[in-house]
Structure 1
Amino acid sequence: MTITIRLAQKTDVLPIARLHFHTWRETYRGLAPQTAYDEVTEEVRLARWQSMLSNAESERIVMVAEAERQMAGFGAAGPASDDIFQGRAEVKFLYVAAAFNRKGVGRNLLLHLARHMMEAGYNGVGLGVVVGNDPAIAFYERMGGERAGSYTDPGPVWRSQNYLYVWDDLPALMAQERKSNH
Protein backbone atom coordinates (compact mmCIF):
# COMPACT_ATOMS: atom_id res chain seq x y z
CA MET A 1 0.00 0.00 0.00
CA THR A 2 1.36 3.39 -0.98
CA ILE A 3 0.88 6.22 1.51
CA THR A 4 1.10 9.78 0.24
CA ILE A 5 1.57 12.65 2.69
CA ARG A 6 0.83 16.18 1.51
CA LEU A 7 -0.11 19.59 2.84
CA ALA A 8 -3.82 19.99 3.45
CA GLN A 9 -5.76 22.24 1.12
CA LYS A 10 -9.03 24.09 1.63
CA THR A 11 -10.76 21.37 -0.42
CA ASP A 12 -9.78 18.86 2.32
CA VAL A 13 -12.01 20.54 4.92
CA LEU A 14 -14.96 18.16 4.65
CA PRO A 15 -12.97 14.89 4.52
CA ILE A 16 -10.80 16.01 7.47
CA ALA A 17 -13.85 17.07 9.50
CA ARG A 18 -15.62 13.76 8.83
CA LEU A 19 -12.56 11.68 9.64
CA HIS A 20 -11.93 13.72 12.79
CA PHE A 21 -15.54 13.38 13.93
CA HIS A 22 -15.83 9.62 13.40
CA THR A 23 -12.34 8.70 14.62
CA TRP A 24 -12.66 10.90 17.70
CA ARG A 25 -15.96 9.22 18.63
CA GLU A 26 -14.46 5.74 18.19
CA THR A 27 -11.25 6.59 20.06
CA TYR A 28 -12.79 8.33 23.05
CA ARG A 29 -15.84 6.11 23.58
CA GLY A 30 -15.70 5.35 27.28
CA LEU A 31 -13.10 8.05 27.94
CA ALA A 32 -14.92 11.28 27.08
CA PRO A 33 -18.02 12.37 28.97
CA GLN A 34 -21.40 12.15 27.23
CA THR A 35 -21.63 15.95 27.15
CA ALA A 36 -18.59 16.02 24.84
CA TYR A 37 -20.25 13.49 22.53
CA ASP A 38 -23.40 15.60 22.47
CA GLU A 39 -21.59 18.88 21.79
CA VAL A 40 -18.94 17.78 19.28
CA THR A 41 -21.01 17.20 16.16
CA GLU A 42 -19.79 16.79 12.62
CA GLU A 43 -20.93 20.37 11.98
CA VAL A 44 -18.78 21.62 14.88
CA ARG A 45 -15.75 19.79 13.45
CA LEU A 46 -16.47 21.19 9.99
CA ALA A 47 -16.64 24.78 11.28
CA ARG A 48 -13.39 24.33 13.23
CA TRP A 49 -11.51 22.88 10.24
CA GLN A 50 -12.89 25.56 7.91
CA SER A 51 -11.47 28.15 10.27
CA MET A 52 -8.10 26.39 10.61
CA LEU A 53 -7.58 25.77 6.89
CA SER A 54 -8.69 29.25 5.86
CA ASN A 55 -6.24 30.96 8.23
CA ALA A 56 -3.27 31.53 5.94
CA GLU A 57 -1.40 33.36 8.70
CA SER A 58 -1.42 30.35 11.01
CA GLU A 59 1.92 28.92 12.11
CA ARG A 60 0.29 25.49 12.27
CA ILE A 61 0.93 23.03 9.47
CA VAL A 62 -1.83 20.56 8.53
CA MET A 63 -1.00 17.44 6.55
CA VAL A 64 -3.15 14.65 5.16
CA ALA A 65 -2.30 11.05 4.41
CA GLU A 66 -3.87 9.36 1.43
CA ALA A 67 -3.90 5.65 0.71
CA GLU A 68 -5.98 3.58 -1.67
CA ARG A 69 -7.37 6.81 -3.18
CA GLN A 70 -8.92 8.01 0.06
CA MET A 71 -8.01 10.09 3.09
CA ALA A 72 -6.37 7.73 5.56
CA GLY A 73 -5.43 10.26 8.23
CA PHE A 74 -4.40 13.80 9.04
CA GLY A 75 -2.18 15.64 11.45
CA ALA A 76 -1.39 19.17 12.53
CA ALA A 77 1.58 20.68 14.33
CA GLY A 78 2.84 24.12 15.29
CA PRO A 79 3.55 26.30 18.29
CA ALA A 80 2.63 24.72 21.62
CA SER A 81 -0.67 25.52 23.29
CA ASP A 82 0.60 24.94 26.85
CA ASP A 83 3.74 25.87 28.79
CA ILE A 84 4.37 22.20 29.63
CA PHE A 85 5.79 21.79 26.10
CA GLN A 86 8.78 23.93 27.17
CA GLY A 87 9.61 25.42 23.77
CA ARG A 88 8.89 22.26 21.76
CA ALA A 89 6.48 22.26 18.84
CA GLU A 90 3.15 20.59 19.52
CA VAL A 91 1.58 17.89 17.40
CA LYS A 92 -1.98 19.02 18.05
CA PHE A 93 -3.81 16.43 15.95
CA LEU A 94 -2.87 12.99 14.68
CA TYR A 95 -5.80 10.87 13.55
CA VAL A 96 -5.87 7.74 11.40
CA ALA A 97 -9.01 6.13 9.97
CA ALA A 98 -9.69 2.75 11.60
CA ALA A 99 -9.34 0.96 8.24
CA PHE A 100 -5.72 2.18 8.06
CA ASN A 101 -4.59 1.45 11.62
CA ARG A 102 -1.23 -0.35 11.90
CA LYS A 103 -0.41 0.24 8.22
CA GLY A 104 2.17 3.00 8.62
CA VAL A 105 -0.14 5.99 8.22
CA GLY A 106 0.32 7.36 11.74
CA ARG A 107 4.07 6.76 11.58
CA ASN A 108 4.38 8.62 8.26
CA LEU A 109 2.25 11.52 9.49
CA LEU A 110 4.21 11.87 12.73
CA LEU A 111 7.55 11.77 10.90
CA HIS A 112 6.45 14.34 8.30
CA LEU A 113 5.07 16.69 10.97
CA ALA A 114 8.25 16.37 13.04
CA ARG A 115 10.42 17.05 9.99
CA HIS A 116 8.45 20.21 9.21
CA MET A 117 8.76 21.38 12.82
CA MET A 118 12.52 20.72 12.76
CA GLU A 119 12.78 22.73 9.52
CA ALA A 120 10.81 25.51 11.24
CA GLY A 121 13.55 25.69 13.89
CA TYR A 122 12.16 23.58 16.72
CA ASN A 123 14.57 21.30 18.59
CA GLY A 124 11.83 18.98 19.82
CA VAL A 125 8.19 18.07 19.45
CA GLY A 126 5.62 16.89 21.93
CA LEU A 127 2.01 15.87 22.05
CA GLY A 128 -0.66 15.19 24.58
CA VAL A 129 -2.41 11.85 24.68
CA VAL A 130 -5.51 11.29 26.78
CA VAL A 131 -4.93 9.07 29.81
CA GLY A 132 -6.59 5.74 28.98
CA ASN A 133 -5.97 5.94 25.22
CA ASP A 134 -3.77 2.87 25.45
CA PRO A 135 -3.40 2.19 21.69
CA ALA A 136 -2.06 5.72 21.13
CA ILE A 137 0.23 5.50 24.15
CA ALA A 138 1.69 2.23 22.86
CA PHE A 139 2.17 3.75 19.38
CA TYR A 140 3.98 6.84 20.67
CA GLU A 141 6.21 4.71 22.87
CA ARG A 142 7.06 2.46 19.88
CA MET A 143 7.97 5.63 18.00
CA GLY A 144 10.46 6.54 20.74
CA GLY A 145 8.35 9.13 22.55
CA GLU A 146 9.23 9.66 26.18
CA ARG A 147 6.59 10.44 28.78
CA ALA A 148 7.62 13.81 30.22
CA GLY A 149 4.72 14.74 32.44
CA SER A 150 0.99 15.21 32.50
CA TYR A 151 -1.42 18.10 32.24
CA THR A 152 -5.09 18.99 31.87
CA ASP A 153 -6.10 20.02 28.37
CA PRO A 154 -8.82 22.66 28.79
CA GLY A 155 -10.34 21.65 25.44
CA PRO A 156 -13.40 23.37 24.09
CA VAL A 157 -15.87 20.92 25.74
CA TRP A 158 -13.86 18.46 27.83
CA ARG A 159 -11.07 18.98 30.35
CA SER A 160 -9.14 15.78 29.60
CA GLN A 161 -6.21 14.45 31.59
CA ASN A 162 -3.23 13.96 29.27
CA TYR A 163 0.24 12.53 29.30
CA LEU A 164 2.90 14.59 27.54
CA TYR A 165 5.07 12.59 25.13
CA VAL A 166 8.19 14.23 23.72
CA TRP A 167 10.89 13.68 21.12
CA ASP A 168 13.92 15.87 21.86
CA ASP A 169 16.26 14.24 19.35
CA LEU A 170 14.56 15.04 16.05
CA PRO A 171 17.46 13.74 13.90
CA ALA A 172 17.07 10.34 15.62
CA LEU A 173 13.33 10.42 14.96
CA MET A 174 14.01 11.30 11.31
CA ALA A 175 16.32 8.27 11.11
CA GLN A 176 13.17 6.17 11.52
CA GLU A 177 11.84 7.77 8.33
CA ARG A 178 14.93 6.74 6.39
CA LYS A 179 14.75 3.19 7.78
CA SER A 180 11.08 2.81 6.85
CA ASN A 181 11.78 3.95 3.28
CA HIS A 182 14.42 1.26 2.63
Structure 2
Amino acid sequence: MTGIFIRTANIDDAQMIADFHVKVWRHTYQELAPAEAYAVLDEQYRGKQWKEKLSANDSSQVVLIAEIDGRTVGIGAAGRPSESIFDGRGEIKFLYVDPDFKRRGIGRELLAQLATHLRKMHYQGAALSVVKGNESAIAFYEALNGRPAGEYIDPGPMWRSENIVFAWDDVASLIG
Protein backbone atom coordinates (compact mmCIF):
# COMPACT_ATOMS: atom_id res chain seq x y z
CA MET A 1 0.00 0.00 0.00
CA THR A 2 1.30 3.45 -0.86
CA GLY A 3 1.79 5.98 1.90
CA ILE A 4 1.68 3.57 4.84
CA PHE A 5 4.47 3.75 7.38
CA ILE A 6 4.82 1.05 10.04
CA ARG A 7 7.05 1.58 13.02
CA THR A 8 7.80 -0.03 16.34
CA ALA A 9 5.99 1.59 19.25
CA ASN A 10 7.75 2.97 22.30
CA ILE A 11 6.63 4.01 25.78
CA ASP A 12 5.83 7.54 24.58
CA ASP A 13 3.15 6.03 22.31
CA ALA A 14 1.26 4.30 25.14
CA GLN A 15 -1.62 6.75 25.58
CA MET A 16 -2.03 7.35 21.85
CA ILE A 17 -2.23 3.57 21.32
CA ALA A 18 -4.70 3.29 24.19
CA ASP A 19 -6.93 6.00 22.70
CA PHE A 20 -6.83 4.30 19.29
CA HIS A 21 -7.42 0.86 20.84
CA VAL A 22 -10.53 2.09 22.69
CA LYS A 23 -11.92 3.85 19.59
CA VAL A 24 -11.55 0.81 17.32
CA TRP A 25 -12.47 -1.73 20.02
CA ARG A 26 -15.71 0.10 20.79
CA HIS A 27 -16.58 0.29 17.08
CA THR A 28 -15.77 -3.39 16.52
CA TYR A 29 -17.55 -4.76 19.57
CA GLN A 30 -20.52 -2.38 19.87
CA GLU A 31 -22.93 -5.22 19.16
CA LEU A 32 -20.95 -7.95 20.95
CA ALA A 33 -19.50 -6.63 24.21
CA PRO A 34 -21.54 -6.06 27.36
CA ALA A 35 -22.17 -2.46 28.44
CA GLU A 36 -20.06 -2.95 31.58
CA ALA A 37 -17.01 -3.60 29.41
CA TYR A 38 -17.49 -0.22 27.72
CA ALA A 39 -17.57 1.51 31.10
CA VAL A 40 -14.42 -0.17 32.45
CA LEU A 41 -12.25 -0.65 29.35
CA ASP A 42 -11.77 3.07 28.73
CA GLU A 43 -8.79 5.21 27.68
CA GLN A 44 -7.45 5.45 31.24
CA TYR A 45 -7.60 1.69 31.79
CA ARG A 46 -6.09 0.92 28.39
CA GLY A 47 -3.42 3.62 28.90
CA LYS A 48 -2.17 1.86 32.03
CA GLN A 49 -2.27 -1.49 30.22
CA TRP A 50 -0.26 -0.20 27.23
CA LYS A 51 2.28 1.59 29.47
CA GLU A 52 2.93 -1.72 31.23
CA LYS A 53 3.19 -3.60 27.94
CA LEU A 54 5.56 -1.07 26.37
CA SER A 55 7.76 -0.70 29.45
CA ALA A 56 8.22 -4.45 29.88
CA ASN A 57 11.67 -5.61 28.88
CA ASP A 58 10.38 -8.48 26.75
CA SER A 59 12.26 -9.06 23.51
CA SER A 60 9.75 -11.72 22.45
CA GLN A 61 7.10 -9.01 22.09
CA VAL A 62 6.68 -6.35 19.42
CA VAL A 63 4.08 -3.59 19.17
CA LEU A 64 3.68 -1.88 15.80
CA ILE A 65 1.91 1.30 14.73
CA ALA A 66 0.70 1.90 11.16
CA GLU A 67 0.49 5.52 10.09
CA ILE A 68 -0.61 7.41 7.02
CA ASP A 69 0.39 11.07 6.85
CA GLY A 70 1.21 10.99 10.57
CA ARG A 71 -2.22 9.62 11.53
CA THR A 72 -2.43 6.30 13.37
CA VAL A 73 -4.50 3.93 11.23
CA GLY A 74 -3.58 0.59 12.77
CA ILE A 75 -1.86 -1.17 15.65
CA GLY A 76 -0.62 -4.70 16.11
CA ALA A 77 1.25 -6.74 18.68
CA ALA A 78 2.79 -10.21 18.71
CA GLY A 79 4.85 -12.35 21.01
CA ARG A 80 4.99 -15.58 22.94
CA PRO A 81 1.67 -17.40 23.30
CA SER A 82 -0.51 -16.48 26.27
CA GLU A 83 -2.73 -19.57 26.19
CA SER A 84 -1.99 -23.28 25.75
CA ILE A 85 -4.59 -23.49 22.96
CA PHE A 86 -2.11 -21.65 20.70
CA ASP A 87 -0.12 -24.90 20.78
CA GLY A 88 3.35 -23.35 20.83
CA ARG A 89 2.69 -20.98 17.93
CA GLY A 90 3.62 -17.33 18.24
CA GLU A 91 0.59 -15.23 19.11
CA ILE A 92 -0.79 -12.24 17.26
CA LYS A 93 -2.11 -10.46 20.33
CA PHE A 94 -3.67 -7.36 18.79
CA LEU A 95 -4.54 -6.31 15.26
CA TYR A 96 -6.76 -3.26 14.92
CA VAL A 97 -7.31 -1.07 11.86
CA ASP A 98 -9.22 2.22 11.85
CA PRO A 99 -12.65 1.49 10.31
CA ASP A 100 -12.18 4.47 7.97
CA PHE A 101 -9.04 2.83 6.54
CA LYS A 102 -10.14 -0.79 6.13
CA ARG A 103 -9.62 -2.66 2.87
CA ARG A 104 -6.44 -0.74 2.03
CA GLY A 105 -3.91 -3.45 2.93
CA ILE A 106 -3.04 -2.07 6.38
CA GLY A 107 -4.12 -5.20 8.25
CA ARG A 108 -2.23 -7.44 5.83
CA GLU A 109 0.94 -5.37 6.15
CA LEU A 110 0.77 -5.25 9.94
CA LEU A 111 0.16 -8.99 10.03
CA ALA A 112 3.12 -9.62 7.70
CA GLN A 113 5.45 -7.58 9.90
CA LEU A 114 4.15 -9.24 13.07
CA ALA A 115 4.71 -12.65 11.43
CA THR A 116 8.25 -11.57 10.50
CA HIS A 117 8.88 -10.81 14.17
CA LEU A 118 7.52 -14.21 15.20
CA ARG A 119 9.77 -15.93 12.67
CA LYS A 120 12.78 -14.08 14.12
CA MET A 121 11.71 -15.42 17.52
CA HIS A 122 11.89 -18.94 15.99
CA TYR A 123 8.17 -19.66 15.92
CA GLN A 124 7.24 -21.91 13.04
CA GLY A 125 3.55 -21.06 13.24
CA ALA A 126 1.30 -18.19 14.27
CA ALA A 127 -2.12 -18.06 15.89
CA LEU A 128 -4.61 -15.50 17.13
CA SER A 129 -8.05 -15.42 18.63
CA VAL A 130 -11.17 -13.74 17.29
CA VAL A 131 -14.32 -13.03 19.26
CA LYS A 132 -17.22 -15.13 17.99
CA GLY A 133 -19.49 -12.83 16.01
CA ASN A 134 -16.67 -10.59 14.69
CA GLU A 135 -17.55 -11.64 11.16
CA SER A 136 -15.34 -9.14 9.30
CA ALA A 137 -12.23 -10.31 11.18
CA ILE A 138 -13.17 -13.96 10.69
CA ALA A 139 -13.58 -13.38 6.93
CA PHE A 140 -10.21 -11.53 6.84
CA TYR A 141 -8.33 -14.39 8.52
CA GLU A 142 -10.08 -17.01 6.39
CA ALA A 143 -9.06 -15.05 3.26
CA LEU A 144 -5.46 -15.30 4.50
CA ASN A 145 -5.84 -19.09 4.81
CA GLY A 146 -6.08 -19.10 8.58
CA ARG A 147 -7.72 -22.27 9.79
CA PRO A 148 -9.88 -22.67 12.88
CA ALA A 149 -7.81 -24.50 15.50
CA GLY A 150 -10.08 -24.48 18.54
CA GLU A 151 -12.11 -22.29 20.82
CA TYR A 152 -11.67 -20.86 24.31
CA ILE A 153 -13.05 -18.30 26.73
CA ASP A 154 -10.78 -15.26 26.93
CA PRO A 155 -9.84 -14.63 30.57
CA GLY A 156 -9.82 -10.87 29.83
CA PRO A 157 -10.10 -8.27 32.56
CA MET A 158 -13.84 -7.67 32.24
CA TRP A 159 -15.48 -9.53 29.40
CA ARG A 160 -15.10 -13.30 29.16
CA SER A 161 -15.65 -13.50 25.41
CA GLU A 162 -16.01 -16.70 23.44
CA ASN A 163 -13.15 -16.88 20.93
CA ILE A 164 -12.18 -18.85 17.86
CA VAL A 165 -8.46 -19.54 17.40
CA PHE A 166 -7.11 -19.15 13.87
CA ALA A 167 -3.76 -20.72 13.11
CA TRP A 168 -1.13 -20.78 10.40
CA ASP A 169 1.31 -23.67 10.71
CA ASP A 170 3.86 -21.89 8.53
CA VAL A 171 4.40 -18.34 9.75
CA ALA A 172 6.12 -17.56 6.42
CA SER A 173 2.73 -17.88 4.67
CA LEU A 174 1.73 -14.58 6.31
CA ILE A 175 4.85 -12.77 5.19
CA GLY A 176 4.79 -13.27 1.43
- TM bucket (normalised to shorter chain) is over 0.9
Task: Give the CA deviation at 1:86.
Answer: 0.5
Task: Say if 2:116 is the partner of 1:115.
Answer: yes
The residue type equivalent to 2:138 in the other structure is I
Partner of 1:62: 63
Partner of 1:53: 54
Q: TM (normalized to structure 2)?
A: 0.95
Task: Give the CA deviation at 1:58.
Answer: 5.4
Partner of 1:73: 74
Partner of 2:8: 7
Structure 2 unaligned segments of length 5 or more: list them. none
Distance 1:72 1:173 in 2: 20
Partner of 1:125: 126
Distance 1:29 1:48 in 2: 21
**Conserved 8 A contact 2:118-2:171:** no
Distance 1:49 1:157 in 2: 16
The residue type equivalent to 1:4 in the other structure is F
Partner of 1:31: 32
Q: Helix, strand or coil: the match of 1:23? A: helix
Partner of 1:84: 85
Task: Give the CA deviation at 1:109.
Answer: 0.5
Q: Helix, strand or coil: the match of 1:139? A: helix
Task: Give the CA deviation at 1:172.
Answer: 2.6
How many residue pairs end up in the alignment? 175
Task: Say if 2:152 is the partner of 1:141.
Answer: no
The residue type equivalent to 1:55 in the other structure is A
Partner of 1:168: 169
Structure 1 unaligned segments of length 5 or more: list them. 176-182
Task: Give the CA deviation at 1:59.
Answer: 2.7
Distance 1:5 1:42 in 2: 23
Task: Give the CA deviation at 1:15.
Answer: 1.6
Task: Give the CA deviation at 1:98.
Answer: 1.4
Q: Helix, strand or coil: the match of 2:100? A: helix
Distance 1:92 1:85 in 2: 11
Distance 1:58 1:111 in 2: 18
Q: Helix, strand or coil: the match of 1:76? A: strand
Task: Give the CA deviation at 1:57.
Answer: 3.3
Partner of 1:44: 45
Task: Give the CA deviation at 1:68.
Answer: 2.3
Deviations 1:48-73 (Å, cap 9, x if unpaired)? 11111111235321111111221111
**Conserved 8 A contact 2:115-2:172:** no
Q: TM (normalized to structure 1)?
A: 0.92
Task: Give the CA deviation at 1:90.
Answer: 0.7
Distance 2:3 2:119 in 1: 25
- The 1:29/1:102 distance shift into structure 2, 3 A limit, reads same
